[in-house]
A and B are shown apart, each in its own frame.
Chain A
Amino acid sequence: MSVQAPSLSRWIGIMLKEFIQLKRDRLTFGMIIGIPILQLILFGYAINSDPRQLPTVVLMADHDRYGRTILWALRNSSYFAIDRVVQTKEEVNALLAEGRVQFAVTVPENFSRKVARGERPPLLVEADATDPSATGNALAALGNIARNALARDLQGPLGVLNPGPDPVELRVHRRYNPENVTQYNIVPGLLGVILTMTMILMTGLAMTRERERGTFENLLATPALPIEVMTGKIVPYILIGLIQVAIILGASQLLFEVPLLGSIPLLYFCVFLFIAANLALGITFSSIARNQLQAMQMTFFFFLPSMLLSGFMFPFRGMPEWAQWLGSVLPLTHFLQLVRGIMLKGNELPYLWPHIWPIIAFMLGAIGLGLLVYRRTLD
């Protein structure tokens, strides 16, 4: 029995062949360049784990001196962007539920007078804590902001009030997630992330598999219409998606005890829309890609910004405006709002609609593009 010695020239031959094949696959080559650039830009410029300028609404019952001082201090801290002033508690609740504001500050009646008297009036700060990472730093800074703001005003004869207890009693309400449980945010988010990954990938492979194995030619030779092929191929994956949802929701109840305040049919309606949008995109990728590897690369190329720019991993409001704009195109961004809205806030359809239509628009766009690129012939 002879044992073959490893040969350098054979080894070089294999290496060269690999280089040549890599060079031929344009898309792979593009990904080699594209992925690092995408990651650098997203990680480098868009992601910010210390979000500032968070939209804040103010309910002012007292327009006197100290109330304004505190608002100025909040604004100057750069954490709070006070862009709305409302008159009623109902308006505050609606804005928080819709997710239009991150914080609501309530300055009670006779605030300034009570401060001056040393009665330590309450200053109520409510935070939308469905995403603890978005509110954490701002809330941590809050105590100092209030204390320092009044310290400057309470000098001279009133300086005696400075040491000792704070001049106001800061009441922080973490709405929808009072115990600041990370899982309340992550588990509903994972629902969207997992669906995005599996739905796009599986349908992405569905059509390219036909192409790669040569069965696509047979399919094309039959009278089957593009719309029949595309929609027919989607259905099994919708079922798979719904099973995944059932598993994740079950686990979120049993293992993580995430509340489910809203209606389950409404949740499933949103899930269904989201699945459909992702599948439409997957089928479109599938029509563009020449083989299964390319379909997988395209999926990854879409998945990466979905993870990073949707508000799943990093607070959405921490990103620069261009990144937020980009993020609002992604269905996952809106789905996260929908799921958190239904599960944690118990929102109903009117509050959800602003995040439903962008998903529908995305889906229609993806289907349109898919029909456009679906090759009816072998050209």
Chain B
Amino acid sequence: MNLAIDVEGLNKSFGDKHVVKDLALRVPRGQIFGFLGPNGSGKTTSIRMICGLLKADSGRGTCLGYDVIRQSAEIKREVGYMTQRFSLWEDLTIRENLDFIARMYGMKNRRGAVNDALEALGLAARRDQLAGTLSGGWKQRLALASCMLHQPNLLLLDEPTAGVDPKARRDFWDELHRMCEQGMTVLVSTHYMDEAERCHQLGYIAYGNLLALGTARELLASHGEPNLESLFVHLMRGAQDVFQ
């Protein structure tokens, strides 16, 4: 099996707080992997470790074939990471933001790529608007466009649709599936169960531990729950009993 992410035993502590414990994750190429779990469960930390923004305390593994501990520079070049909080420059225009990101990745056909992205986004008309003046939905689309600009092989999306309206969310997920069909791998964290249903695989994390792993159907069957929402609550209750 061709794996985009293959890590095991990843640990991360901040001070005396053990945020991620022995994380093992295998995500095949071309799949959408949904990362579920309550707030503060270690999702963001896990994602940052995979893309090299945080150095794992221990553990090993590969991301797109590169060593997650030692080759973070190579990983950064081929991964698109969308932060939970809007992290583009609010005092730059939409076009300036995209242009800057394109330069950071040293893209050859920069102007063309930026123009294509603007067209695809439907932002061509507002290209000279400051990013800070965009509404939440548009900011999210811009952020996605910017992390897709260098045509990464793996997308790491940290709650990309938080605070986005239902229609925009659906469009966003249609887009994700389209990209997946073209061979892109996506790891996405979310709190929306309708989004979880559209993932090929789900991982459930709580208190830094990966509790369940599998397709939505498998998980529902093995836990005997009628839907993902009740599964979520069921797993969270179980985790509370074990870890507190």
**Which A residues lie at the B interface, using CB under 8 A?**
213-224, 377-379
Contacts and interface: CB of A to CB of B under 8 A. Distances in A.
A220 B147 CA distance: 13
A213 B86 CA distance: 9
Nearest to B74: A223
Contact of B53 (A215, A223, A224, A378): A378
Given A221-B53, A223-B76, A378 B87 contact: no
Interface residues of B, number: 24
A229 to B, nearest CB: 10
B88 A215 contact: yes
B55 A377 contact: yes
B54 A217 contact: no
17 contacts: A213-B90, A214-B85, A215-B87, A215-B88, A215-B89, A217-B85, A221-B81, A221-B147, A222-B76, A223-B76, A223-B77, A223-B105, A377-B53, A377-B55, A378-B48, A379-B54, A379-B55
A221 B78 CA distance: 11
Contacts of B48: 378
Given A377-B54, A378-B53, 16 more contacts: A213-B87, A214-B87, A216-B87, A217-B83, A218-B87, A220-B53, A221-B76, A221-B79, A221-B83, A221-B147, A222-B104, A222-B105, A223-B76, A223-B105, A223-B106, A378-B48
Contacts of A219: 104
A223 to B, nearest CB: 5
Contacts of A214: 83, 85-87
B212 interface: no
Contacts of B51: 221
9 closest cross-chain pairs (CB), A and B: A222-B104, A218-B87, A221-B81, A214-B87, A223-B76, A214-B85, A223-B77, A217-B87, A215-B87
A379 B52 CA distance: 11
B73 interface: yes
Interface string B102-114: 0011100000000
B64 interface: no
Contacts of A216: 87
A212 to B, nearest CB: 12
Nearest to A378: B53
B69 to A, nearest CB: 12
A253 B83 CA distance: 53
A215 B53 CA distance: 13
Contacts of B72: 377
A221 B86 CA distance: 13
Contacts of B147: 221
B24 interface: no
Contact of B73 (A215, A223, A378, A379): A223
Which of A216, A218, A219 is most buried by chain B, counting CB atoms within 10 A of its CB? A218
A270 B81 CA distance: 44
B148 interface: no
Contacts of A378: 48, 53-54
Contacts of B88: 215, 218
